[in-house]
Amino acid sequence: MPDPSDAPAGEDLIAVGADLEPGTLLAAYRAGLFPMPVDPGQRRSKMAWFSPDPRGIIPLDGLHVSRSLRRSMRRFEVRMDTQFAEVVRACGDPTRPGRWITAPIVDAYTTLFDLGWGHSVEVYDDGELVGGLYGLRIERFFAGEAMFHTATDASKTALVALVDWLKDTGAELLDVQWVTDHLATMGAVPIPRRDYLTRLHSAVQPRNSEPPLRQAH
């Protein structure tokens, strides 16, 4: 697995190739990398591995939740890890602009979920899935992969629920890859890659006293 710290400053793309087996993905995240396909619409799209510089994170004590969002959240029901594959597929809706979640991505992350590494937050309105997000957790590190919504504030509600869970379970680092305008309104900030890697390497170190967060299916 290539070392992102060896990459030139400001260079996000680190490598191209490799598979999406669980061991490969977990090693990549521990090293500060995540996959996205190159030309996802092509039949033989290759997998690229990114480590953005700067890297987007949301400080767990710095989440921005407006009064209007708190009011909006009251109408939703939030669950966790009940419809992981459905959330991933919704995030990969082919009608969404910039779609990059392909069938191999869905399969790979669903396998991680089955093994106990993947997690999803689901948001319901009157029993209908209207928003959510997914990612994976390694010790005190959570890699947020994607989110979706079909109702106003549903994805923001999922993010608030995720941060609450991470804080309650002793997490230290929430990675959001790049800072988008949407995430910036919620408190996402960019930090230099070297600082991110330092925080990451600390957060993924095991603590033997920690119980498993969820049993594998």
pLDDT in tens, 19-53: 999 999 999 999 999 999 886 555 566 899 999 99
Of 103, 112, 165, nearest to 138 by C-alpha is 112
* SS3 label, residue 11: coil
Rounded to whole angstroms, how far apart are CA atoms 212 and 189?
29
Q: Is residue 127 part of a domain?
A: yes
**pLDDT at position 97:** 58
Residue 170 lies in a domain: yes
Return the pLDDT at 161: 98
pLDDT of residue 215: 47
7 falls within a domain: no
Residue 209 pLDDT more than 60? no
CB 145 within 8 A of CB 106: no
Q: Is it the case that residue 182 has pLDDT exceeding 70?
A: yes
Which residue did the predictor score with more confidence, 204 or 207?
Answer: 204
Q: What percentage of residues in the chain have a pLDDT greater than 90? A: 82
Looking at the domain assignment, is residue 102 inside a domain?
Answer: yes
Q: Please check whether residue 108 is in contact with residue 136, taking contact to mean a CB–CB distance below 8 angstroms.
A: no
Is residue 10 in some structural domain? no
Domain of 106? 55-191
Residue 206 belongs to some domain of the structure: no
Domain count, the chain: 1
Say what the alpha-carbon torsion angle 184, 171, 214, 73 is, to the nearest 10 degrees. -40
Q: Cα dist. 29→25, 67, 182 in Å?
A: 6, 35, 24
Alpha helices (H) in 60-122, listed in sequence order: 67-73, 84-91, 103-114
Sheet containing 47-50: give its strands across: 13-16, 47-50, 34-37
The predicted pLDDT at position 127 comes to 96
Domain-embedded: residue 158: yes
Question: Considering the domain boundaries, does residue 62 fall inside one?
Answer: yes
Per-residue pLDDT tens over the stretch 102-148: 889 999 999 999 999 999 999 999 999 999 999 999 999 999 999 99
pTM for this prediction: 0.92
Q: Average pLDDT for residues 5-30, to the nearest whole number?
A: 95
CATH code, domain with 131: 3.40.630.70
